[in-house]
Amino acid sequence: MKIFKLIVVLGIAIVITSCNSKDKKEKETKTVITTQIKTKKDSVAYSFVFMGCNRVDRHQQFDTTATNGSTANLVALKKIWNDVTILERKPDAFIFLGDMVLAESTLDNLNNQLRDWVKLYKDPKFSSIDQSGIEMIAVPGNHEMLYYHDYNVPNHDEWPLKGATALWMKYMHSFMPKDRLHITGKDSIVNQMTFAFQRKNIGFVVMNTDTYNAPTKEYPYGIEGQIPTDWIIKQLETYRKNPKIDHIFVLSHKPYYVSGKPETGHIGLPEGPVLWPALQKNKVSAMLSAHLHDYQRMQPDDKGTYQIIAGNAGSPGTATFFGYSKIDIMKSGKIKFSSIGYDKGNPYYTSSPDMKMTLRDSTTLTWRKNNNPYQYQQAK
């Protein structure tokens, strides 16, 4: 009898031990799974920086404390390029949204300034941007495509500069993606600087917002602000239908929305009323522009496509800080946005007391209404 009781007790003990061991293992497994979920972090799949408007004002064109033959704001450009190259997660691309030189006058001036800008880019004593492995993509602005003259035409004093397209291609062709899609046919020459390219699951459409157009009876000096709208919209539609593309961005010098309002004059885009609905329809994440010498972020329709202006790269104007903007496409599909800069010096082309680059704005670019709007100052 005693032996029987002993056997029963041992059996119960074994069952209890087995259950406890099973429970412990289940708890350990749950803990491991929970820990893995908590520690699994999102990471950057593709990153790019963009900015525009770094050229100095005419009053500083020959001021060697401000610039050199490139007419770039040397202090700002050096600071920005150096900061970008030492980012912990180096961007894959750097997109310069125009007005990198002053020109806006003669072909000789444009030739010399673009030539010296390229020299500056390649100068290792100035910065390491050329050797950084970052893809540099250049977009022309009005200062590269137009000339200034008062012909007594209301609301217009900048005009298409014949020959500017050829000069841009001469010096800047190496800053255009080799695998780009571009316009073909009879208008291909004047439209060379409007193109599209793909990086991973992202489609980019680049617009030259001051495409050359010859004088006509209606416009005896030509007209500014022209883009090949039909081709651009068709390219957006193609990207939208492509299952391999999850994000679309439109890049341009001139914006359509400024301070929350649509602009079709010199500070905006004449084709904006036609283009913007196509951006929304084709789920374009953002239109990234410059031209206005300031930083602005807005979502004009309170949902959908954003208008971001990053014209605060060093040209004089209303900007309180100089710097660059950055977009990180995350592996999760999220679009992380940030704007980084330093307090502008006084005068604008000098170093400020504190040249530290700091985060000035950040958000996730959601298609729904953004809950983190940026309070920009109204452009004047």
Q: Looking at residue 353, what is its pLDDT?
A: 82
- pLDDT for residue 6: 45
pTM, two decimal places: 0.89
Can you tell me the mean pLDDT for 91-102? 98
Who contacts 1 (Cβ-Cβ below 8 Å, separation ≥6)?
none
Residue 24 pLDDT grade (very low, low, confident, very high; cuts 50, 70, 90)? low
- Residue burial 317-336, b: 16+ Cβ < 10 Å; e: rest: bbbebbbbbbbbbbeeeebb
Strand 261-262 and strand 257-258: the pairing is: antiparallel
Q: What is the mean pLDDT of the chain?
A: 92
Mean pLDDT of 30-52: 74
Mean pLDDT across the stretch 75-87?
A: 98
Q: What is the pLDDT of residues 185-203, one digit of tens each?
A: 988 999 999 999 999 999 9
Please say if the pLDDT value at position 328 is more than 80. Answer: yes
pLDDT band at 173 (very low <50, low <70, confident <90, very high): very high
User: What tens digit of pLDDT does each residue of 230-270 get?
Assistant: 999 999 999 999 999 999 999 999 999 999 999 999 999 99
Whether 27 shows a pLDDT value over 70: the answer reads no
Per domain, the residue ranges of the chain are 45-364
45-364 to CATH, choices 3.10.20.590, 3.40.980.10, 3.60.21.10, 3.40.50.261: 3.60.21.10
Find the Cα–Cα–Cα–Cα dihedral 73, 322, 296, 360, rounded to 10°: 160
pLDDT computed for residue 14 by the predictor: 45
Burial of residue 359 (number of CB atoms within 10 Å: 0-12, 13-18, 19+): exposed
The more confidently predicted of residues 5 and 168 is 168
Mean pLDDT for 309-330 is 98
Beta pairing class for 195-199 and 257-258: unpaired
- Tell me the per-residue pLDDT of 59-74, one tens digit each, with 9 for 90 and over: 999 999 999 999 999 9
